[in-house]
Amino acid sequence: MNLELTEEELRKGERLVKAQWYALYTRSRFEKKLLGELTDRSVEVFLPMREVLSRWKDRKKRIWIPLFPGYVFVNQVDTPENRYRILNIPGAVRFVGNEGHAQPIPEEQIESVRRFLESSVSVDPYPYMQLGARVEVIAGPLKGIQGILVEKRGRFRFVIQVDLIRQAVSVEIDASDVRPV
């Protein structure tokens, strides 16, 4: 009985155990607490945040809030042990998916959101859309990102969607900086 694996079989095995991004649904207002807990447990986590002006009765203050309220993204190998370890953290509710199975988020959608946040443009949440023209940015700091171009009150908006959690972010962009895909 030969127990050695060929190089091709090893490569196939690597694909099976590759870490992927998953959306973790959280209790209301627990996103930042989960970020800290997951980081302490050496789990790669991504919590997109945006700065907003909060108004109280007596003052105004700039605060950071989650771009997608109720969600954090974790990069892990989907095993029962890893799910159990994460879901036992106070504030973690469940992984987003179908029929009780966590559904991975494509790497390019996570990277697109990261690039949006790293660019110097103002990022706003945007309602999830199913219809629209799919485009690619051909100029500027967002060059190469694909998304949907929509018109909102006479201004053009470029939208990146995270399909699994039915959330999206938008940014103002010149229509000449995009091309149809």
> Minimal CA–CA distance to 149: which of 138, 163, 160, 140?
160
Among residues 77, 105, 133, the one where a domain terminates is 105
Neighbour tally for 123: CB within 10 Å = 18
Q: Tell whether the model's pLDDT for residue 10 goes beyond 50.
A: no
Predicted pLDDT of residue 156: 72
pLDDT score, position 37? 97
Is 66 inside a domain boundary? yes
**Is the domain of 14 the same as that of 99?**
yes
Asked if residue 164 and residue 110 are part of one domain, the reply reads yes
Supply the pLDDT for residue 176: 67
pLDDT of 2: 44
Q: Which residue has the higher pLDDT, 107 or 10?
A: 107
Which CATH number is 50's domain given? 3.30.70.940
Is a pLDDT exceeding 80 seen at residue 177?
no
pLDDT-based confidence at residue 157 (cuts at 50, 70, 90): confident
Is residue 158 very low, low, confident or very high in pLDDT (cuts 50, 70, 90)? confident
- pLDDT band for position 126 (cuts 50, 70, 90): low
Q: List the alpha helices (DSSP H) in 71-164.
A: 80-87, 107-118
> Rounded to an integer, what distance in angstroms lies between the CA atom of residue 111 and that of residue 48?
11
Q: What is the mean pLDDT of the chain?
A: 84
Domain boundary among 88, 105, 122: 105
State the pLDDT at residue 89: 97
In Å, what is the CA distance from 102 to each residue of 24, 77, 97, 178? 9, 11, 4, 33
What confidence category does residue 35 fall into, taking pLDDT thresholds of 50, 70 and 90?
Answer: very high
> Which pLDDT value is given to residue 6?
47
Residue 4 within a domain: no
CATH number at residue 167: 2.30.30
